[in-house]
Amino acid sequence: MAKSTKQQPVHEIRFGAVKAAIWQNETAVGTRHNVTVSRIYKDGEDWKQTDSFGRDDLQLLAKVVDLAHTWIFENAA
């Protein structure tokens, strides 16, 4: 049986519990990038993630999104 390979982000930026994952997609018109953002937290013994952010997360969210934007433009082919 063939082993499935899960796509991985090409880059991640993280500050504290807030992270941005940058994904690369090849299209008919060239390489495109998408960004997903999340906040990680511990629930008992398990690590989980959410796309919900509190007031105190917003500055970190803005920072990781800004750095993701910079990374994409610096690494565009």
What domain count does the chain have?
A: 1
Total length of the chain: 77
Q: Which pTM value belongs to this model?
A: 0.85
Q: Which residues pair with 26 in a beta bridge?
A: 31
Judge whether 6 lies within some domain: no
- 19-71 pLDDT, tens digit per residue, is 999 999 999 999 999 999 999 999 999 999 999 999 999 999 999 999 999 99
- Is position 23 within any domain? yes
pLDDT band at 1 (very low <50, low <70, confident <90, very high): low
Report residue 6 CA to chain centroid gap: 15
Write out pLDDT tens, residues 47-60: 999 999 999 999 99
5 found inside a domain = no
Q: Are 17 and 40 in contact (CB under 8 A)?
A: yes
Q: Which domain holds residue 28?
A: 11-74
CB-based contact 37:51 (threshold 8 Å): yes
